[in-house]
């Protein structure tokens, strides 16, 4: 099973993200979604982790199922919220035993109810990154926020913190965003700090404006007025909204590839239709594995 660091070194990647289902019926639905996306031959898939470690078992179930039942390389999300070092050692050992080689080490969100909070030996994601790296045999990724982490005090601090994490990790995957400029600026600012490791942009095709706006606000991103204006033409028609959302995601993905992005990471929300349509629009099945054309991200000057 492939390490994501090796996949990125070999050429452009295309990957999909899922969240662990809460019910058995949702589990079956996710299985259908993965089956629908599998013919696209994704480089890897990732599985998220609930607030405060609340989906620990279901995340492990989905990740190991992908590892054992498909030919796709899985990446497990892991957060420092609500975990002791001994618990993380156990989680990593279970993944190692299952043949899982890829971990996305994150800060994570606290549970909504403080009464549900569990003890943690970590204060910052960087501490978890160091711990996973010390395990020695995982390809380690971290999160990046093109429009800054919502808890960052300022841009300079945000970028220095991310650069420090990437000095230890192998790659980063970004929170979703909707315009090219924030991504290019992020990559250039990291280059100014001496970081040239792959930063894979995250793409979320908009199929529900209110839902994505809420998610964007929570993650420190913003849905640009130009995007909202285009979506407004759909009115209350969900199918028209989806078509416009796919169009916007296709345009952004093409611009990112032209700018030299090392891959595309699609936030699927456990549904396949919009992602499959963007994939088809870009003709990714026939575009080969070479990095995006142009490679014009800049020289590191911001």
Which letter does DSSP use for residue 290 in this model?
S
Q: What whole-number distance in Å separates Cα of residue 198 and Cα of residue 265?
A: 12
Is residue 221 within 8 Å of residue 181, measured between CB atoms? Answer: no
Q: In sequence order, what are the beta bridge partners of 17?
A: 46, 267
Rounded to whole angstroms, what are the CA distances from 68 to 36, 108, 132, 183?
Answer: 17, 27, 22, 34
- In the residue annotation, 181 being an active-site residue is answered as no
Task: Report the helix count and the strand count for the chain, using DSSP H and E.
Answer: 11, 8
What the block records as the tokens of 126 is 């960087």
Q: What whole-number distance in Å separates Cα of residue 85 and Cα of residue 73?
A: 26
Q: Helix, strand or coil for residue 119?
A: coil
From first CA to last CA, the distance across the chain in angstroms is 38
Rounded to whole angstroms, what are the CA distances from 139 to 6, 171, 265?
Answer: 9, 9, 17
Active-site entry in 17, 147, 179, 277: 17
To the nearest 10°, the Cα dihedral for 111, 114, 116, 117?
A: 80
Q: Give the length of the chain.
A: 302
φ, ψ for residue 75 (rounded to 5)? -125, 125
- 56-69 and 24-37 helices cross at what angle (nearest 10)? 40
- Cite the active site residues: 17
């Amino acid at each position: 099973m492939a390490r994501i660091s090796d996949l990125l070194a070999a050429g452009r990647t295309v990957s999909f993200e899922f969240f662990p289902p809460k019910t058995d019926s949702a589990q079956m639905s996710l299985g259908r979604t993965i089956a629908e996306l599998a013919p696209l031959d994704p480089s890897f898939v990732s599985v998220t982790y609930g607030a405060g470690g609340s989906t620990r078992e279901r995340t492990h179930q989905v990740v190991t199922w992908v590892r054992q039942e498909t030919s796709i390389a899985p990446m497990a999300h892991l957060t420092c919220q609500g975990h002791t070092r001994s618990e993380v050692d156990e989680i990593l050992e279970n993944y190692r035993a299952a043949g899982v080689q890829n971990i996305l080490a994150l800060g994570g969100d606290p549970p909504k109810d403080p009464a549900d909070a569990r003890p943690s030996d970590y204060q910052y994601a960087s501490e978890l990154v160091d711990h996973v790296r010390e395990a020695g045999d995982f390809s380690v990724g971290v999160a990046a926020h093109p429009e800054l982490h919502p808890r960052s005090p300022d841009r300079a601090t945000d970028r220095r913190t991310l650069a420090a994490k990437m000095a230890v990790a192998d790659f980063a995957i970004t929170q979703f965003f909707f315009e090219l400029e924030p991504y290019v600026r992020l990559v250039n600012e990291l280059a100014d700090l001496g970081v040239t490791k792959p930063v894979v942009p995250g793409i979320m095709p908009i199929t529900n404006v209110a839902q994505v706006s809420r998610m964007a606000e929570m993650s420190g991103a913003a849905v640009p007025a130009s995007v909202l204006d285009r979506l407004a033409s759909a009115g209350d028609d969900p199918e028209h909204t989806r078509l416009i959302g796919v169009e916007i995601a296709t345009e952004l993905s093409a611009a990112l590839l032209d700018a030299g992005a090392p891959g595309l990471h699609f936030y699927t929300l456990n549904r396949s239709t919009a992602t499959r349509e963007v994939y088809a629009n870009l003709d990714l099945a026939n575009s080969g594995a070479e990095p995006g054309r142009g490679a014009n991200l800049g020289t590191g000057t911001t």
